Amino acid sequence: MRDPPLPPYLDRGDGHNRCCQRRFWCIADVCGVLCVLITWLLIGYAEYVVMMILLSWPHSVMRGIHLVLYNTLTVLAFSSHARTMLTDPGAVPRGNATKEHMQWITSQEGGVVYKCPKCWSIKPERAHHCSVCQRCIRKMDHHCPWVNNCVGENNQKFFVLFTFYIASISVHALILAVNQFVSCFHTEWKECSIHTPPATVILLLFLIFEGALFGIFTLVMLCSQVQAIWTDETGIEALKGEEVRWRRQQRWKSMRAVFGRTWHHWFSPFTRPVLSGGGGGGLRHVYPVPTGATHHGDSVRLLDSGSIDSNDSTDSESVAAEMERRTLSTGDMPV
């Protein structure tokens, strides 16, 4: 007897958006690749100015502390960026809206299932289609060109750490740059750097501009991401004003679901929490009918879990109205 189809969230990968023998997630987007190169270039520029100008003073304890701290934060920022970019954000398998899968889901969970007309996949609860990745992403927050990837349930931790560490090195570089300016005003500019005074001034001014710009930007992004995790509502859900139909997690449980159970793993880009089979919070593949629907007949029934059973019935007009509303708002096709 043939085994039943695998649940849609068990993505074995079909080679789409994959590279290095399918080991890494890669998006072939010209704009995204360009933004990634610019990000690396700016990190490298800041590293050069800090090492060659701001920390070029004689050996001392404070110089050693700044040296270790800045380089540690830079390595963590670069690692977080790479993990965000190369991690599958939670892509739903393409083309899995087959007859076998439909029958398997309705027999296990029952109810109305939606499929994406663009990638022809079964859409779990809280999944959205990304036109750049050309995939539906579970708990998609947004697509970020600076990491050339979507931010979803699998890589949100790495994105938050990326914004945190970039903001940290930006603030650190700003403090060092201001201190260098003050020191050079009281001494000869020729003694402040291996470069000429005009070149030193230009390098420092650009570093201050870069640090202020990206420091503010990443701090804003960091706060918005932490708030989204704390309230268990993604950015795209808040932007669209979607009605909350999922069971929201408690605030600390939501934080632990993203960053991990133990606090010393929270700030590490080299670990990630183990996700359960259905994704964060047990995402469903069926969609509930409005709670005000009346019950009669025998085609579908609203269960306590919020799913829809195909054996009994909710008012058919209410079901049809709900399906039409979702189709018009998201473009999803009810099955």
**Closest alpha carbon to 7 in 247, 274, 278:** 278
144 classed as catalytic: yes
Catalytic residue among 116, 119, 133, 144: 144
CA atoms within 13 A on the CB side of 307: 20
11 in Cβ contact with 154 (< 8 Å): no
167 in Cβ contact with 215 (< 8 Å): yes
Terminal Cα distance for the chain, rounded: 27
Residues sharing a CB contact under 8 Å with residue 38, sequence separation 6 or more, in sequence order = none
Q: Structure tokens of 260?
A: 């991990």
Beta strands (DSSP E) in 40-124 are 114-115
271 in Cβ contact with 260 (< 8 Å): yes
Q: Structure tokens of 217?
A: 């930007």
- Sign of the CA dihedral 97, 100, 102, 108? negative
| E strand or H helix at 135 | strand 135-138
Query: Measured between alpha carbons, how far is 206 from 48 in angstroms, rounded to an integer?
Result: 12
**Closest alpha carbon to 207 in 40, 46, 39:** 46
Q: Structure tokens of 99?
A: 């007859």
Q: Which residues are catalytic?
A: 144
